[in-house]
Chain A
Amino acid sequence: MEERKWEDLEFDCLVNVLGRVDMESLLLYVPFVCKSWYKASLNPSCWKHLVFPTDVDPEWDLTLIEKFKVWYDIHKCSLYSFIKFVVGLSHGNCTGLSLPDGFSEEVLKYIADECPALISLSLPVDHFQTSESLSILPTLIGKWEHLENLRLGSSDNLVDIITQISLACSKFSSLGVSIATIGGKKRHRQLSLIFRI
């Protein structure tokens, strides 16, 4: 009795599974499972939804970027080039992106140029080291004409951002703000706005 083997599973079906796997597995483990999985892991469809983890793995006491360095024996590894590398694997097909803490203005600019298909963008809650880099966000919104969902870590430049959204993103539907400055005080609460433009 001949059963179909996972190694021979149709390529599209395997890519469909791998597209749902978390970033760490896809980056570190999936390529080494076997040759057909390695080939499938290079397909841009596997990299459409990119959630950069921000927390440290308690078992390893390392962040993903640190694990990546160890795993592939890479010496020099900035957050910018790591994000660039992973986003580059999507070859412009990325539709959902959640950025880690500490990203720079360059990261946002790169994403604006390389992710024209973006539908959902999520920026980290703890943005203290990145708040300055966010000041260019309003100027970049226009590059994401398919954007529907935006989650911000702060309410900085909110008016400018909303203005740009209303000009460029015709399908936009929801905006979430994690930390809003209301009446000069920081309120840690979720603000969600549903849009109808």
Chain B
Amino acid sequence: MSSSTDSPTLTTETTQLSPQPDTETAKPTKKITLKSSDNQIFEVEESVAMEFATVKSFFEDSPSTDTVPLPNVTAKPLSQVIEFCKEQIKFKANPDEAQKKKYNAEFVTEKSDKDLVDMIPVANYLEIKDLLDVLNQAVADRIENKSVEYVRSFFGIDNDFTAEEEAALRREHAWAYEGVDED
């Protein structure tokens, strides 16, 4: 799974694209450094970093900084979020709704349950609305009609109900329901 060598398919893909001048490389783009909570450094183009509303407002408040610490974000979900946003920038430059939909669908399909679950708090913290929509829908689809135990293990949640509290919850629901049923 190492990406140390560049895949040769990447070059063929580029040649298939319409031969338009690459404006991205024409002017050197500013790079922004993001630092994850586990001290990994990510260098991303400014346009990608500006997709993160949290990072954007950080820069508006302190424009002279070039490293943004992200104390709530670990490296793995951050790298996946960056990957998503890089693609979205391309779709912004060349709008293609069908391709974008396809990419978004594939992006979540190929991710493990844990990857999705770990990315949601990151997308939420960085305020990336499009990604959050895609992720929230994907996890909602994956827990459809699944048992309580399944959902807990899917999200890695500990049950904090005692047996008594759980029984009380059921009764509460039944009472609320029977209140409706009176008339």
A residues neighboring B (CB under 8 Å): 1-7, 9-10, 13, 16-18, 20-22, 24-25, 29-35, 37-38, 57, 71-74, 76-78, 81, 84-85, 88
Q: A81–B124 Cα gap in the complex (Å)?
A: 37
- Please report the number of residue pairs spanning A and B whose Cβ atoms sit closer than 8 angstroms: 103
Q: Are B181 and A17 in contact (CB under 8 A)?
A: no
B161 contacts which of A3, A13, A32, A81 (Cβ < 8 Å)? A32
Is B174 in contact with A72, judged by CB distance below 8 angstroms?
yes
Task: Report Cα–Cα, A6/B141, bound state, in Å.
Answer: 17
Query: Of the candidates A10, A18, A22, A33, which one forms a contact with B157 in the assembled complex, judged by CB atoms under 8 Å apart?
Result: A33
In the complex, whether B180 has a CB less than 8 A from a CB of chain A is yes
Q: Is the CB of A25 within 8 A of B155?
A: no
Check: B25 CB closer than 8 A to any chain A CB: no
A16-B136, A24-B145 known; A74 and B174 CB under 8 Å? yes
A-B pairs, 7 with minimum CB distance: A20-B140, A81-B181, A4-B121, A6-B155, A13-B124, A85-B180, A32-B148
Determine whether the beta carbon of A74 is less than 8 Å from that of B177: yes
Task: Please give the residue numbers on chain B whose beta carbons come within 8 Å of chain A beta carbons, in ascending order.
Answer: 37-38, 72, 74, 117-118, 120-121, 124-125, 132, 136-137, 139-141, 143-148, 151-152, 155-161, 166, 169-170, 173-174, 176-178, 180-181
Minimum C-beta distance from A67 to chain B (A): 10
Q: How far is A47 from B154 in the complex, measured between Cα atoms in Å? A: 22
Q: Which of B72, B160, B177 contacts A85 (CB 8 A)?
A: B177
Once A73-B170, A78-B181 are accepted as A-B contacts, the answer to whether A29 and B155 lie under 8 Å apart by CB is no
Question: Is there contact, CB below 8 Å, between B72 and A4?
Answer: yes
Q: How far is the CB of B108 from chain A (nearest CB, A)?
A: 13
Chain B residues within 8 Å of A57, by CB:
145
CA distance A63 to B139 in the complex (A): 24
B residues near A31, Cβ cutoff 8 Å: 169, 173
Chain A: minimal CB distance from B163 (Å): 12
* CB pair B181 A77 closer than 8 Å: yes
Q: Which B residue sits closest to A59, measured CB to CB?
A: B145
